[in-house]
Every structure is written in structure tokens, then in C-alpha cells.
Amino acid sequence: MEYFDPKQAKRLDRSSQFALISAREAFTDSGITPNNTDLDRVGIFVSSGIGGLITIQNQCETNYIKGHSRVSPMFIPMSIANMPAGNIAIELGLKGESISIVTACASSTHAIGESYKTIKHGYEDAVIAGGTEASICEVGIAGFENMKALSRSEDKTRASIPFDKERNGFVMGEGSAMIVLEELEHAKKRGAKIYAEIIGFGATSDAYHITSPSPDGEGGAKAMIRAIEDANIKPEDIDYINAHGTSTHLNDLTETLAIKKALGDESKKVMVSSTKGNTGHLLGAAGAVEAVISLKAIEDQIVPPTINYKEKDEECDLDIVPNEPRNAKINIVMSNSLGFGGHNASIILKKYEDK
């Protein structure tokens, strides 16, 4: 196999496989080695919203059909949500703090934000941060479908349509994304390529409902405000927001309200897009994927569009960069994630300029 030998693949849930592949790529790209970095001070903050759901489904079927004696002894180590982080630590020999933050669809944005705080306070020199998700299986689809969260469109170009008036649910995605966060002077000393700086993080809870966001957008707004205050910037400094934008009626409406509350009059000027039209919704991995997209937006000075947009929604009246990418001067980007249970998280990234 390209990434794993058959024995290793058999012992890894698909979510861990995704995580290991993306972590290898991020770590190789970072240039961190035992010769230039103390691996005892490299953490692993890798999240999954659901964990090894495919393994859970398969082993439950085995238990029901063949009996409990046929359940794999690897069932628990393969299915628990911390195992992607644990497997990365084992493979790469990283002995810093290793945790998995589970906050539904905000999980990997929390992972990145908490990594930033951990490095900022001097506990680690670097952290691999991100998320992974592999929930496309019968029980996963059935669960989201029966709660009316998934799109019912049979036209793939009208399925994941964030901020469009005809949106009716999200499209499930799966995969993984990782970034390496590093203390600035440590990165400069070893000559690392620096894509951008993370300068702010904010997180709150709606304290409202297990699945629905607070209808006034207050929780999301406060997370953005906390991130702006942490970054010591003003709302007008933000050039682009990568929105959570799931293509559900409530999410896109309340996130629009939240952005307006957080940015005030500046919400009329800022560019906002949801890239879930391209990727689908990767649940716990969504924030990490969108952090990478935000970094690329800064690097390439291109705002990714909200694709498949046709029908204007008067309630979602931000500049959502419809259908076509936009060349623009991008210095500061905010990325939002909102999760079931009322979890809200926002990070702020800035173009790096060597001082």
C-alpha cells in the first residue's frame, strides 16, 4: 500500500490513517528534526469530532452477528478519539503534550487555538495541530440524515451551497489537515519557512441548545470579539473571514448575525466565504482544513469563493465572494468554527513579515 503496510492499516481506523498521512506531510514540510528541535518539547494537539466511527459500526455488527468473542481486541484502541494524536506521537517520536479536544465541529479550531496558547505561554516549542474525521458510513449518514442536517438535493451543484437561499443542509466530507505551530524565535533560528503568524484566538459557549446555534448569534460574535481583542487589532484590520458556513439554514443565518455583531459597520466591507462548497463538511477536521485554506489565501493573495451560489438570501447579506476567486490584498484572516453543543472558536492569522 502507498501509505501503510497491510498489518498497520488493519490496526488503524480510517480517521487515524488520514491523521498520520497529513501529519507526516506537515512535519516533513516543517523541517523539524531531532538535530534542530528538542522533540520532548513538541506537542500533538489533534482532534476528531467523532473518532473511529467506522470501526465502531463494524465491530458492533461483528458482535451482533458473530458474538462478543469475535470482537477485535483492537476495537477500543482503534475507535477512541484520542488515538489519531497518540498514533502521530508514536510514529514521529514526539514527547510533548499530546491531547485531543472534542468540541464537535469546532474541535480542530480549538486544537489550533490551544496550541497557540500553549506555545505562547512557553510550555512547548512547537505543536502539530489539526483534525481528522472519517464518518462516511451507514450509521454516520443515518444519524445526520435523520436529524435533518444533510442536504436533500440530488444535484451536486446545489447540495453544499452556503449562504444561498435554497440551502437545505450540509454534505458530509472526510479527511484531515495539520499545521505546525512554532515559537517565532525558535522557527527563525532553524531557518523554517513561515507561512503566517497566528495572532489571536477566541472561544465561547452558546449555552443554548445541543444542536441549534443561539438564534441571535451572540456566542459566535463573542468568540470573534475575544479573538480580535487577543490579537490586539481592530475589526477593520480583518481582510477576509473563512466562515463556518455549513449550508444549513440556521448556521449560515446566525453566523451572518454574529459577524455583524462582532465587526459592526466593518461587516459590510469584509470579504467572507465558506469553502464547504468545495470540501463538504469535515466535522471535527473542518477547522483545520479551513485554517490551511486561510494560510493559502494569505500566501497567494487570493480569496477563495463561495461556489455554487445562485439564489440571494436577504438575511445572509455579507460579501460572500460568490463563485469566483478574488485577487485581493490579504494581511489578516479570521477563521470561524461552530459546533454542536454550542462550541464557538475563532482564530486570526496574519501575513508574516520578517522584522
Residues classed as catalytic: 105, 244, 281
Report the alpha-carbon distance of residue 186 to residue 89 in Å, rounded: 21
Contact by Cβ (8 Å): 303, 271? yes
- Distance from the first to the final alpha carbon of the chain: 45
Q: Where are the beta strands (DSSP E) in the chain?
A: 42-47, 98-99, 126-133, 175-182, 197-205, 240-242, 271-273, 302-303, 326-327, 332-339, 343-350
Alpha helices, H only, 131-183 = 138-146
Does the CA dihedral 132-134-139-143 come out positive or negative? positive
Which residue type sits at 245? G
Cα 165 to the center of its chain, rounded Å = 25
Report the alpha-carbon distance of residue 105 to residue 238 in Å, rounded: 23
How deeply is 325 buried, as exposed, middle or buried, from its count of CB atoms within 10 A (0-12, 13-18, 19+)?
A: middle
3-class state of residue 177 by DSSP: strand
Number of H helices, E strands in the chain: 12, 11
Which residue type sits at 274? S
Closest to 27 (Cα-Cα) out of 8, 46, 9: 46
Give the HSE-up count for residue 141: Cα atoms under 13 Å, Cβ half-sphere.
Answer: 9
Please provide the DSSP assignment of 238-290 as one string.
--EEE----S-HHHHHHHHHHHHHHHGGGGGTSEEE-THHHH-B-GGGHHHHH
3-class state of residue 13 by DSSP: coil
